[in-house]
Structures are given as structure tokens and as C-alpha cells.
Chains A and B, each alone.
Chain A
Amino acid sequence: RKEVEQDPGPFNVPEGATVAFNCTYSNSASQSFFWYRQDCRKEPKLLMSVYSSGNEDGRFTAQLNRASQYISLLIRDSKLSDSATYLCVVITRSNDYKLSFGAGTTVTVRA
């Protein structure tokens, strides 16, 4: 089983729609979770951290479900500029420090 798994999509949605997707992780000891956004041929950029209590940043809401070992990202009122690949990143500190990336979920927002 992969350490971090994401639905690759693509999610094709019209402008103004809500889109949501998850990222599952295999190590229950994982401690920190992030969503990054990556545009084609660019580096990943931090979108938001994911806190235990869930957090919201404008149109973006992130949730963490430790019992089921997944994080989620919800985008409300989608804009054309939200089209990108969204990567989840999971950090685990046990014997060492480990950064694990999901393969990314592609979102395409159409006019």
C-alpha cells in the first residue's frame, strides 16, 4: 500500500461549483498534513496546512480525519484559476523525519 494515496481525477467542474477530494495516508503516526498546489511545469506552492480541528482559508476548507486516516480539501465557488494539481503532503516523525507526497489530484474548472 502506498504511504499516501490520492484520487488522480481529473475533476472537471464548471465555474462556481464546489469540488472536494480526499487523500488517505497509511501511517497512523503521521503528524502533519498539508495541501500544496502545483501548476503545470511549476514547483508546488503551499496552499494550506491541515489542522486537527479543520481549517478554512477563503473558499478552501481542509479537514483531517485521524480515525479513518484521510485529509480532505473542499473548494467552494470554483474559479478558472483554481485549475491545478493539488498535492497532499504527510509528515511522519518516528525513527526519522519522513516527507510523503500524494501523486496529486487534477482539478479543471471550465467556464
Chain B
Amino acid sequence: GAVVSQHPSRVICKSGTSVKIECRSLDFQATTMFWYRQFPKKSLMLMATSNEGSKATYEQGVEKDKFLINHASLTLSTLTVTSAHPEDSSFYICSASVIVLADTQYFGPGTRLTVL
């Protein structure tokens, strides 16, 4: 299957700092990527749809100024958690499909964020 990478895999930061998470499609171009967060023993929650060359589409209840998404190229989307707080601690995962809005999603390995 297609390969999606994420970096970093784990990050610990102080409250008030900003953290950038990268999501890359390694062997295909992804005009659309999705960002999720997952709390322990809970389902994935879709945060936003990242569109290459245009603004991201955020799900209801997700603060766009808090979670900045940039999709600058066909293989890279970034999620920046700004002014992180302990409640932002979570597992963040991205996904992409090989064909635009094709149904099969390939997930990155996830980034575990801990805000102290």
C-alpha cells in the first residue's frame, strides 16, 4: 500500500509553546490529506481536511487559529498546534488517499503529543 510518514513520532513540550507536525506522502501525490486526533480508548476524531494550495476545511468545534494547517506541496501537510495546553495532549494522525478523494485512506504512524 501507499506510505504516509509523520514527524515527529513523539513530542513533549511546555505549555504555551507551538508544535509542528509533518505528514508526508512518500510514494504518491496527495492533494487532500486528513488530520485526526485520538484520545486514549476513543475513536479517531476528524479535525480537518487539508487541501493543497488552498485553505483547510475544519470540522465543527475545531479552532482553526489553534490548529494551523498548511498544505504547501503535493506531498506535505503540516499541523501546528499553537500555544499548546495540557488538554491538547493527544495522538495526532494524518491520512491520505492515492487518488483524490478516493475512499481507501492510508494513515501515518501518528504523533504523540504531551504538553506539560
Contacts and interface: CB of A to CB of B under 8 A. Distances in A.
Interface in B21-75: 34, 42-46, 49
The CB with the most chain B CB atoms within 10 A, among A32, A45, A99, A102, is that of A99
Given A99-B46, A103-B43, A44 B107 contact: yes
Interface string A83-111: 00001010101000101011110000000
B93 interface: yes
Interface residues of B, number: 20
Interface residues of A, number: 19
Interface in B85-116: 91, 93, 101, 103-110, 112
A72 interface: no
The prevalent SS among residues of B at the interface is loop
A20 B34 CA distance: 29
Contacts of B107: 43-45
A101 B43 contact: yes
A42 B101 CA distance: 24
B51 to A, nearest CB: 11
Interface of B: 1, 34, 42-46, 49, 91, 93, 101, 103-110, 112
